[in-house]
Amino acid sequence: MAAVEVAKAVDAIAKAKGVTRLEDGFESRALGLREEAMRKGPFDEQVAAALPILEAGTTTLDQYFQQWDILLTPVLRAPVYKIGMRDQTKFPFQELQDIVRDYTSYAALHNICGTTAMSVPLHWDADGLPIGSQFAARMGAEATLLALAYELEEARPWASKRPPLFVT
């Protein structure tokens, strides 16, 4: 689904801006996703094939939230990458894609299923960089998460915390 949407966006932007050589106007990851979508056939068929899988995942997650109000996970599977570790010029598309999918796997679930989720910085690493905790709730439970965020920030304030180097 993501590859299809990126392909549509790349093509629409290229057309609107008159970009004739896609490599001149887009990053390699966007072009790799576009190529992946193009290889897999017509976009409407890809979306139709994905919908039952997405609906099953959403149903399963909804069943989980019938028993539990909140799901706590990390935001990312590892600490923050050092600058350049995901440099698109250093990795073949598929390797970079695998790295990104693994690294952001917790957030992807809620993006795909449409459940409500938030990331809050409840811990900091040795370099002073935030480590996010992700809290998720059933669809439409934004008020539950906002109330929790308020309580968490009151218990462990983060608004004034800044890493050693930051931009405002």
Where along the chain do its domains lie? 1-41, 53-168
Q: Which of these, 14, 11, 29, 115, lies nearest to 66 by C-alpha position?
A: 115
The one-letter code for the residue type at 122 is L
* Residues forming beta bridges with residue 130, ordered by sequence position: 124
The pLDDT score that the predictor gives to residue 11 is 97
The pLDDT score that the predictor gives to residue 90 is 79
Q: Give the side-chain half-sphere CA count within 13 A for 97.
A: 15
pTM of the entire structure? 0.78
The pLDDT score that the predictor gives to residue 143 is 97
Name residues of the chain where pLDDT drops below 70. 85, 166-168
How far apart are the C-alpha atoms of 167 and 82, rounded to whole Å?
17
The pLDDT score that the predictor gives to residue 12 is 97
The pLDDT score that the predictor gives to residue 168 is 64
Structure tokens at 60: 């399963």
How far apart are the C-alpha atoms of 9 and 27, rounded to whole Å?
13
Q: What is the pLDDT of residues 18-44, one digit of tens each?
A: 999 999 999 888 999 999 999 999 999
The pLDDT score that the predictor gives to residue 79 is 79
